[in-house]
Amino acid sequence: MIPDRPKIRVVDTSSNRKDGLNKCPRCGSAEIRMSEKAGTLVCEFCRHEWSEETIDEKFSLNTPLQELRGTVIASGAKEIQESTKDVLTLKCQGCGAEVIVNTAEAMQSRCHWCRQTLSVNSQLPNGSVPDGLLPFKLSHEEAAALVADFVNSRKFFAHKKFLREFAPSEVMGVYMPFLMVDANSHIELSGEGEIETATYTREVGDNTVRYYDADVYSVYRHFDLYVNDLTLESSSRRSDQSGDTETNNVINAIQPFDTTNAVAYNANYLRGFTSEKRDLDIAHLQSQAADKLFSVGRNRAAEMITRFDRGVRWEQEELTLHGVRWVSIYAPVWLYSYVQHSGGNQLTHYVAVNGRTGNTMGSVPINQPRLVAVSTVIFIIGTIIGFFLFLLFV
């Protein structure tokens, strides 16, 4: 992936709010919650309801991709500084008390004297405050029902112990960290394509072998490639797809998220949910971003080469970036987890629900004896059918 222009520009997406009381714009109350159904903020005192602006509108991140030049980084996506402390001391503007907040665990805390909610609003360089977020749209009850439906559709092969202990009401709402990439690029692909000209069979001993003739062509395609909101997981734990101890790769399976609706960060959206802070920088994800851009480019090229009915093998690929933009967001996920213990080992299974669309995916512990028994029966039936077909046609 070749950058066309090395210039870097940082867009300040900080809210300019001071840490502490995050007040209702109508009455000044700090008792604010998020409506899961509407995805809006609601004042629990005066019932005023509002939403933050989308990050595209508020920070002018909607520049046409054709005009994107150089490298643009929203301030919430800047490099993480390992020396940044997770523990902050906030001064309550209501009574003057000092309250400790551990940003590794939460972005809000109640004052122990006046009970008002204090929020961390400043963008700490430790990955805990993104540029924006997608609010939850599915309620806890809706998510629990989707998790139950997912498990029930697989309960025939599910482990009996898991089914006894399954409790969908324990599903938790989590904000997961992502980095989004916009790209203005140009891609060049070259290789060989084949067009079938004939097909025929020949007898080789006791067997009939089918042969194909094809003309081989050199193929070259180049075109501008514009990609908007390419989404990459920015948690090292989630990006580990080994699956040795947990099935965390289900998060990718519930995408996409409607990222164009991401709003400016406000800690009140996090109230009642947990969040996982970003611990991967842009440098860690550039290779993955390039792979995905190449994949998008190949799919686009496939639409141009349909005449090659036996396919095209790309041998050389080159991507030139004219402009790229990086933005960090939190995306909403309802997550159910179950730890399976077996032979001294443990594997954590997850069922995840997209907090915006309801897309659901996951894994459940398998009843191995039942799986083996069913597989054996299917194998025996298949063997018997195959034997009778053999007798029929011989």
Instruction: Mark whether 237 and 324 lie in a shared domain.
Output: yes
Rounded-to-10 torsion of CA 83, 88, 89, 94: 150
User: Quick check: helix, strand or coil at residue 238?
Assistant: helix
294-327: string of b/e by CB count within 10 Å (b at 16+)? bebbeeebeeebeebeeebebeeeebbbbbbbbb
Q: Across the chain, how many H-helices and E-strands are there?
A: 7, 19
| Whether 295 and 384 share a structural domain | no
**Residue range 364-388, pLDDT digits in tens:** 887 556 656 667 777 777 777 776 6
pLDDT score recorded for residue 19: 59
Is position 198 within any domain? no
* Residues 351 and 378 placed together within one structural domain of the fold: no
Q: Which residue has the higher pLDDT, 61 or 105?
A: 61
Q: For residues 326 and 182, what is the distance between their CA atoms, to the nearest angstrom? A: 7
Q: What is the pLDDT of residues 97-125, one digit of tens each?
A: 666 676 666 677 777 566 667 777 666 66
Give the chain's domain count.
Answer: 2
| 181 domain residue, yes or no | yes
Residues 255, 379, single domain; the answer is: no
Residue 104 or residue 262, greater confidence: 262
Q: Which two tokens stand for residue 326?
A: 């990086």
In-domain check, residue 84: yes
Q: State whether 157 and 48 are in the same domain.
A: yes
Half-sphere exposure of 65 (CA within 13 A, CB side): 16
Q: Are residues 251 and 380 in the same domain?
A: no
Q: Which domain holds residue 258?
A: 2-189+219-363
- Whether residues 338 and 238 fall in one domain: yes
Instruction: State whether 71 and 146 are in the same domain.
Output: yes
Instruction: Give all strands of the β-sheet with 40-43 in edge-to-edge order.
Output: 32-35, 40-43, 49-50
Say what the pLDDT of residue 228 is. 95
Does 270 share its domain with 388?
no
231 and 356 share a domain? yes
CA dist 291 and 294 (Å) reads 5
pTM: 0.82
Take residue 314 and report the two structure tokens written for it: 């790309």
Are 313 and 234 in a shared domain? yes
Residue 200 lies in a domain: no
Residue 391 reports pLDDT greater than 70: no
